[in-house]
Amino acid sequence: MLRSRIIPCLLVRNNGLVKTIKFTDEKYVGDPINAVRIFNEKEVDELVVLDIDASVQGRGPDFKMIGDLAAECRMPLCYGGGITSAQDARHIMSLGVEKVALSSAIIQRPDLIGEIAEEVGRQSVVAVLDVRLDRAGHYSVWTHNGKTETGLNPVALAKDFESRGVGEIVVNSIDGDGTMKGYDLELCRQIREAVRVPMTVLGGAGSLKDLQTVIQKHGPIGVSAGSLFVFKGIYRAVLINYPSHADRERIQQGQLP
C-alpha cells in the first residue's frame, strides 16, 4: 500500500535557513546543516531544500552547499534553485541528491523538462508551481519569489508539465506560505484531479491535523511544510520538530482527533 509522505521544506538564503510569510517577512531560523542533522534523528520521510535567491539573482546552484547538505542527509533529498540545464541537474544528482526541483526555468523554457528527464530520469524531475489567488478569484502561477506574475493557470501548466516528462508536481500556495492557517484545499483538489504523477502540497500547514486532512482527501500524496516543522507555539519559537512514529501512523490512518 502506498503511503503519503510528510516532508519538511527548508528555505535557504545566503547559506542560512530562513522562513517567510507569503514570500515576505523573512525570519532567520538557523543553520541548514544543523536542521538536516536533527531531521536525520527524527527519520523524516523526505526533505526539500530550496535556495530562494538563486533564480532571482540569476546565478547557478551553490554546489558546495548542496554537497555539504547531501553528505549529512540520510533521507531522500530534493534540491531546487538556479538549475537551468541538464548538466546542472546531473552534477547535483552526482552529489547525492535524489530529485531536482524546477520552477521559473521550465516556465521560461519548457523543453528543459525533457532534457533533464532524459539525463537523470523522469522520477527525479520535480516541477514547483508557486500559486496566488487574484482579486477575481482566479489562480495564477508566479515566479522569482512571488515577484513575477506569469498569467498562467496552474492546472493547465501542471498538465502540460506532466505531458513533457516531470515526475512530480509541488503546488505551493503563496497566500498560505507561513500563515499556518491550513492548506488551500481547493487548489490542491484542482491539481490532484488534473494530473496522474505524484503530487506534493505546500503552504499553510499549521497542525498535524492539516496534514491528515489532505491525506484523507487526496492520498497517497506528499504533504510538505516549513513553519510547522521549524516553529513551536504561538510565539513561533525556533524548534526543529517532526511528528513521532505514532503520530505519523495516526495521520496516515486518519486517527488524529
CATH of the domain at 19: 3.20.20.70
When pLDDT is averaged across residues 187-213 and rounded to a whole number, the result is 98
- Cα–Cα dist 29/226, whole Å: 11
Per-residue pLDDT of 206-243, as tens digits, reads 999 999 999 999 999 999 999 999 999 878 899 999 99
Tally of structural domains, the chain: 1
- Cα–Cα dist 107/130, whole Å: 11
**What is the CA angle 208-202-51, rounded to 5?**
120
Contacts of 1 (CB under 8 A, 6+ apart): none
Domain that holds residue 237: 5-253
Question: Whose grid coordinates read 492557517?
Answer: 181
pTM of the complete model: 0.96
CA 190 vs CA 67, 97, 193, 194, 205: distances in Å: 36, 30, 5, 6, 18
Neighbouring-strand partners of residue 225: 8
- Cα–Cα dist 35/11, whole Å: 11
Q: Which percentage of the chain shows pLDDT scores above 90?
A: 95
130 assigned to active site:
yes
- Cα–Cα dist 92/64, whole Å: 10
> Residue 110: what residue type?
P
pLDDT of 2: 85
Catalytic residue among 130, 177, 184, 210: 130
- Residue 117: which of 102, 97, 96, 104 has the closest Cα? 102
Q: Pairing state of beta strands 16-21 and 24-30?
A: antiparallel
Whether the CB-CB separation of 125 and 167 falls below 8 Å is answered with yes
Per-residue pLDDT of 15-49, as tens digits, reads 999 999 999 999 999 999 999 999 999 999 999 99
pLDDT of 256: 94
pLDDT of 235: 81
